[in-house]
Amino acid sequence: MTITVLFFGMLAEETQTSILELNTNSIRLSDFEKEVLDLFPKLKNMSFKIAVNETFANGEVELTSKSKVAFLPPFAGG
Amino acid sequence: MLSHLEKYRYSRQLILDNVKEEGQLHLKNSSVLVIGAGGLGCPVLLYLVGSGIGRIGIMDHDNIDESNLHRQVLYSTEDCGKSKALIAEKKLLAQNPFVKIETYPFKLSATNARELFKKYDLIVDGTDNFSARYIINDAAVLENKPVVYGALYKFEGQVAVFNYQNGPTYRCLFPNPPSKTPNCNEAGVLGVLPGIIGLYMANEVLKICLGIGKILSGKLQLYNGLTHELSTLTITKNINLKIKAMQTDYETSGISVCTFDNVKIQEIDSESFSELIKTEAVFLDVRENWEKPRISSKGLLEIPLDQLENRVKEIPKNKQVIVFCKSGGRSKIAIHLLTKHFGFKNLYNLKDGLKSCLLT
């Protein structure tokens, strides 16, 4: 299935994209996250939280072909 | 009660069905502590004062710098070098004498936060570092105060209301500060972004005080100034998270900032140094070649201070570079030189030098 992936802030800079579509066989979010990190190894050292379909989620959440997975880092600036 | 002058001043707001005289009195009886009178704090303060919030606390330990002025709209060129909190007070009282302003021109800490928060109904987080954000979160949870939060990165902003009527807190979203890797380089920001985000924040404050509208609780709103994209993500409360007391140390990033001859220098502590030495960071030893002990690391550069200018090309600009010497003095001079005359922005000083690492 194809999953839409969104990156915000410094994550978008590291991946050089803010949106992309990924083909995956992973059902669980935690497996899908590993795939994304293998694709963009620099993200392994960065802090972020993942939202699925606009709700922050844990690794147990199951993905479907319509899922939108957003990677969001904390911002400190003010 | 509102005086005639107040009724006239706020008349365009009072005629709103959702506000009326009663709502304006709610605002007058409200107290808000704004932490950080910078990019976010300035617009928040200007509009809260304009709207007639009765009592406003301003906390900021910093002085005004000319590089603040493109976004920190409360301050003028002539204010440079003066206290942000005190200048903000002066400008805001001129804007609206009906508002009571209280100033705290010192740093928020784990020890002073709770006492201060007790005096206000609501806290505004307009700070620029993680350590302050976690202090605010924990003190607000312990004192049961809602926090209106805003944060920026380049062209993007985040807004949320945390700890509102027992709703999710900042730690439900990000349980702990980011890891120790130095990543808080001055990222840069377009002047208008803190204005946009700050006004979203002020809007939430007013709605909370008025008891109207939908509050951004349990939500994180994201705004991208380049694309106009506005998304709202849902945050769920982590019921396993219990904050029972303030932590003793919030400087978890291991990074602090000092000023040396008008140049801001980022410093890391010995603990972060010992961790970073195992990574791919570049280390720049500015001691003389005969000084012992020598350090071995994959990314080590050895350039004594007096050779630095001639060998500046050897130092990468696109990686984090940790500069060190015996006790942290020469490395500061080196960073000052490289920052001021060669445009480096990626340098970190090992605070108190190599001797602080060898002792621990």
Inter-chain residue contact B39 with A49, CB threshold 8 Å: no
Query: Is the four-CA dihedral B183, B184, B187, B189 of positive or negative sign?
Result: positive
pTM of the prediction?
A: 0.77
Q: Give me the total of CB pairs closer than 8 Å, taking one residue from chain A and one from chain B.
A: 79
Inter-chain residue contact B234 with A8, CB threshold 8 Å: no
The answer on pLDDT for A22 being more than 60 is: yes
Q: Is B156 on the interface with A (CB under 8 A)?
A: yes
What string of pLDDT tens digits covers the 360 residues of chain B? 999 999 999 999 999 999 999 999 999 999 999 999 999 999 999 999 999 999 999 999 999 999 999 999 999 999 999 999 999 999 999 999 999 999 999 999 999 999 999 999 999 999 999 999 999 999 999 999 999 999 999 999 999 999 999 999 999 999 988 864 433 346 789 999 999 999 999 999 999 999 999 999 999 999 999 999 999 999 999 988 989 999 877 875 566 777 788 888 888 877 777 767 766 679 999 999 999 898 887 789 999 999 999 999 999 988 889 999 999 999 999 999 999 999 998 899 998 898 877 754
Give me the pLDDT at residue B253, please.
Answer: 54
Give me the pLDDT at residue B359, please.
Answer: 56
Q: How far apart are CA B217 and CA B120, in angstroms?
A: 19
Q: Is A74 on the interface with B (CB under 8 A)?
A: yes
Which residues in chain A have their CB less than 8 angstroms from residue B183's CB? 10, 46
Q: Is B202 on the interface with A (CB under 8 A)?
A: no
User: Does residue A42 form part of some domain?
Assistant: yes
Residues B164, A28 contacting (CB under 8 angstroms): no
Distance from CA of B129 to the nearest CA of A (A): 5
Give me the pLDDT at residue B183, please.
Answer: 36
Give me the pLDDT at residue B181, please.
Answer: 40
% of chain A exceeding 70 in pLDDT: 100
Q: How far apart are CA B291 and CA B238, in angstroms?
A: 52
Distance from CA of A24 to the nearest CA of B (A): 24
Inter-chain residue contact B231 with A55, CB threshold 8 Å: no
User: Does residue A74 form part of some domain?
Assistant: no
Which residues in chain A have their CB less than 8 angstroms from residue B181's CB? 45
Which residues in chain A have their CB less than 8 angstroms from residue B223's CB? none
Which residues in chain B have their CB less than 8 angstroms from residue A55's CB? 233-234, 236
Write the residue in A54, A74, A76 that is nearest to B128 by C-beta.
A76
Inter-chain residue contact B187 with A49, CB threshold 8 Å: no
User: Does residue A18 form part of some domain?
Assistant: yes
Write the residue in B133, B220, B234 that is nearest to A76 by C-beta.
B133
CATH of the domain at A14: 3.10.20.30
User: Does residue A78 form part of some domain?
Assistant: no
Which residues in chain B have their CB less than 8 angstroms from residue A60's CB? none
Inter-chain residue contact B174 with A8, CB threshold 8 Å: no
DSSP A21: E
Torsion of CA B351, B128, A13, B69, to 10 degrees: -110
Write the residue in A8, A45, A72 that is nearest to B181 by C-beta.
A45
Q: Is A59 on the interface with B (CB under 8 A)?
A: no
Residue span of the structural domain in which A30 resides: 2-64
User: Does residue A69 form part of some domain?
Assistant: no
Give me the pLDDT at residue B279, please.
Answer: 65
Q: Is A77 on the interface with B (CB under 8 A)?
A: yes
Write the residue in B40, B157, B234 that is nearest to A54 by C-beta.
B234
Q: How far apart are CA B220 and CA B169, in angstroms?
A: 11
Which residues in chain B have their CB less than 8 angstroms from residue A56's CB? 173, 220, 233-236
Which among B342, B341, B348 has a CA at the least distance from the CA of B258? Answer: B348
Give me the pLDDT at residue B297, please.
Answer: 79
User: Does residue A56 form part of some domain?
Assistant: yes
User: Does residue A75 form part of some domain?
Assistant: no
Domain count, chain A: 1
Give me the pLDDT at residue A13, please.
Answer: 93
Residue A71, amino acid: F
Q: Is A76 on the interface with B (CB under 8 A)?
A: yes
Inter-chain residue contact B151 with A46, CB threshold 8 Å: no
User: Does residue A72 form part of some domain?
Assistant: no
Q: Residue written as tokens 């377009």?
A: B190
Mutate which of B35, B183, B252 to disrupt the A interface (most A C-beta within 10 Å)?
B183
Q: What is the 3-state secondary structure (H, E, C) of chain B?
A: CCCHHHHHHCHHHHCCCCCHHHHHHHHHCCEEEEECCCCCHHHHHHHHHHHCCCEEEEECCCECCHHHCCCCCCCCHHHCCCEHHHHHHHHHHHHCCCCEEEEECCCCCCCCHHHHHCCCCEEEECCCCHHHHHHHHHHHHHHCCCEEEEEEEECEEEEEEECHHHCCCHHHHCCCCCCCCCCCCCCCECCHHHHHHHHHHHHHHHHHHHCCCCCCECEEEEEECCCCCEEEEECCCCCCCCCCCCCCCCCCCCEEEEEECCEEEEEECHHHHHHHCCCCCEEEECCCCCCCCCCCCCCEEECCHHHCCCCHHHCCCCCCEEEECCCCHHHHHHHHHHHHHHCCCCEEEECCHHHHHHHC
